[in-house]
Amino acid sequence: MGNPEISECGKAIKFLRDAHDVDHLVSAISASYLVQTYVDLPVEYGVFYVRHADTSRIVGINGKSFPTITGDGQRTVQALIEAHDRYTFHWNNFVHGFDMQRVLNDGERLRLSHIGSHTMGCVFTDETPLATPQMAKRLFSILESVGGAI
């Protein structure tokens, strides 16, 4: 959940796990907000496109790789997070909901962030070569109904 005017880079976005979380947070918010259903899929892409007059085209696709740790059966979640090659103190802003003393089983993976932002630990890759004419046609057929400046 986030305020569409202030949630750039993952700021003010909250991952709510159940109806109690929603009720608790919504009652405390005095600004406008947006609620979306979380879609738990292993990958996420951002598609950038340009629409000018009657012409639309995909100009870029970015892949999002979320920060993940893999257990070794010995170290705690906290130790695995701190040993991650991309760890910075900033990560404490999005890993606060985990049991930091839990020991993950050997090979067990834990995704640390659900927010596709570099400030939330994501790595972005250029996946523009994935664009196909079929993808563009389908995307633009969906987006025709979306308003906006042209």
Residue-wise pLDDT for 13-62, tens only, equals 777 778 888 888 878 777 777 777 778 787 889 899 988 877 889 999 99
- How many beta carbons lie within 10 A of that of residue 11, not counting itself? 14
The structural domains of the chain, with segments of one domain joined by +, span 1-38, 42-143
pLDDT of res. 110: 94
Share above pLDDT 70 across residues of the chain, in percent, rounded to a whole number: 89
- Residue 99 CA: distances (Å) to CA of 21, 75, 78, 81: 18, 13, 8, 12
pLDDT of res. 54: 76
Contacts 24+ apart (CB under 8 A), 4-7: 4/32, 4/33, 4/34, 5/31, 5/32, 6/31
Question: How would residue 6 be classed by pLDDT, with cut points 50, 70 and 90?
Answer: low
Q: Does the reported pTM lie above 0.75?
A: no
Question: How would residue 12 be classed by pLDDT, with cut points 50, 70 and 90?
Answer: low
